[in-house]
A and B are shown apart, each in its own frame.
Chain A
């Protein structure tokens, strides 16, 4: 190795080391909670003599923790489904109309992502109390649907970015109804966006705490709310196990999303080919 190559190499090694230290900092919390959750002590610490599943056992046998988990799952499932429908329809509309108003609408749909949740919660409190939505499932589902829409609008718009408006016009021009066009032409194009948007909206709802703190009281105790309560004063050790389960679930959801999207892309190109063949047949 010549002397001239030494410094660039050293510099690059330092850069690599720096970047990976930052990434190490990012994944450190995920790595640390695993041993902490397996501790054999009654309080939270690293395992001392042996590994133990006691905190997991406590979670899976605790009525309140399981009830909260179920509540959160239910709310996240319904609100993300609603976000998908509303967000996708809106994104498709913006894409097809694509004028200044549509751009403004798209920006409006992103607003719930930008306005801090402490402000949104404060703002919702009044209306929710007035409309009888305070401390109800419907109230939380509505709030999470609203705040989930931006994720779907973003991912569906991204999926439509490379999709030619002329294909929609061709479909209508050849006599397909609007619904058939959505189902057969636009639907397959936005499918990857729908999946990702749904996953993001689901994770968002499942994790959302601040708005829930404002618009609920005793009836609704979602999982984040129970974790939040458990983090005050003396920390409830069950949280360690809950955290690991949550990280694992997030990991699985994101992996499934990536895998589904990859599969979808292949089937879309196959479908595109089929459409071309059909067109050739018609001509």
Chain B
């Protein structure tokens, strides 16, 4: 009885597929095409990857900021996930609520709030000066520190959730067995627990790194134009120079980097689990 009844479900998928193909896939292919055909056919746009010092600096900025963000987010997220996997149900619900709420918080609202907290006459400096901890305001925003704080704030929930779902699957008996066999606490953690949580750590690391690469709003607001990353550079070359070949080359490079990253991720873990689909 299969085929006739299944036909309905093929039709059910059709509208979404058509929409995504025409308005999402096609424009992306056009970006790739423009990057090798504008202003003339060939790879000359990509030469900037080799000989443009500004572009080198942008990519180095991007990789450094994304690397540091990933490091901070994964360590902080691991700590939260670990505690979450070891507390009682009510306590856990409270912790998850904090994470989920932050996850859905508007990117602009966060950026605005961090500017309020971090700027020279902001909340943090005001409080610290009135307590006498410091006498000169610290410069925490419109520089790389601000960008790192803002990006880590966005990424901690994204890092914590896959690591937590991985830790939930680890049976306590492994840890108990190690302890019972005489291992010290740090040995148990380092040699038993940590290796068991490696899939979660890898997933979180790649996921956070990939998401950070394309970040635009947070670095633009908290970096104040001083820490230009690839996404902001794409936007600027679109808006100000209107050099389509160059802008699409930048976008294509980022797209290819992301695809490679995801291919690595797909090899080490089950993608469907990460995205929950």
Is the pairing of A and B real?
yes
Residues of A within 8 A of B95 (CB): 19, 23
Interface residues of B in 84-119 (CB under 8 A from A): 84, 95, 98-102, 104-117
Given A19-B80, A23-B99, A109–B16 Cβ distance below 8 Å? Answer: yes
Residues of B within 8 A of A178 (CB): 5, 8
Residues of B within 8 A of A90 (CB): 12-13, 15-17
In the bound complex, how far is the Cα of B99 from the Cα of A117, in angstroms? 23
In the bound complex, how far is the Cα of B115 from the Cα of A257, in angstroms? 31
Is A97 a contact partner of B153 (Cβ separation < 8 A)? no
A14-49 to B contact mask, C-beta < 8 Å, 1/0:
011011001101111110110010000000111000
Is A29 a contact partner of B117 (Cβ separation < 8 A)? yes
Given A114-B258, A122-B248, A154-B275, A250–B106 Cβ distance below 8 Å? Answer: yes
Given A26-B157, A108-B20, A246-B109, A209–B217 Cβ distance below 8 Å? Answer: yes
In the complex, B192 has a CB within 8 A of chain A: no
Residues of B within 8 A of A19 (CB): 79-80, 82-84, 95
Report the nearest A residue to B73, measured CB to CB: A22
Is B277 a contact partner of A36 (Cβ separation < 8 A)? no
Is B82 a contact partner of A15 (Cβ separation < 8 A)? yes
In the complex, A70 has a CB within 8 A of chain B: no
Q: How many cross-chain pairs have Cβ atoms below 8 Å apart between A and B?
A: 233
Given A93-B10, A154-B275, A124–B113 Cβ distance below 8 Å? Answer: no
Residues of B within 8 A of A153 (CB): 16, 277
In the complex, B210 has a CB within 8 A of chain A: yes
Given A118-B216, A123-B27, A231-B111, A110–B121 Cβ distance below 8 Å? Answer: no
In the complex, B247 has a CB within 8 A of chain A: yes
In the complex, B71 has a CB within 8 A of chain A: no
Residues of A within 8 A of B17 (CB): 90, 105, 108
Is A29 a contact partner of B153 (Cβ separation < 8 A)? yes
Q: How large is the interface on B (under 10, 10 to 19, 20 to 34, 35 or more residues)?
A: 35 or more
Q: How large is the interface on A (under 10, 10 to 19, 20 to 34, 35 or more residues)?
A: 35 or more
Given A29-B153, A96-B9, A235-B115, A119–B214 Cβ distance below 8 Å? Answer: yes
In the complex, A158 has a CB within 8 A of chain B: yes
In the complex, A80 has a CB within 8 A of chain B: no
Partner of A122, one of B16, B80, B185, B234: B234
Q: How far is the CB of B224 from chain A (nearest CB, A)?
A: 10
In the complex, B264 has a CB within 8 A of chain A: no
Binds B, one of A52-60, A141-149, A259-267, A274-282: A141-149
In the bound complex, how far is the Cα of B82 from the Cα of A11, in angstroms? 13
In the complex, A203 has a CB within 8 A of chain B: yes
Listed in ascending order, the chain A residues whose CB lies under 8 Å from chain B are 8, 11, 15-16, 18-19, 22-23, 25-30, 32-33, 36, 44-46, 86-87, 89-90, 92-94, 96-97, 102, 105-120, 122-127, 142-143, 145-146, 149, 153-154, 157-158, 169, 172-173, 178, 200, 203, 207, 209-210, 213-214, 224, 227-228, 231, 235, 239-240, 243, 246-247, 250-251, 254
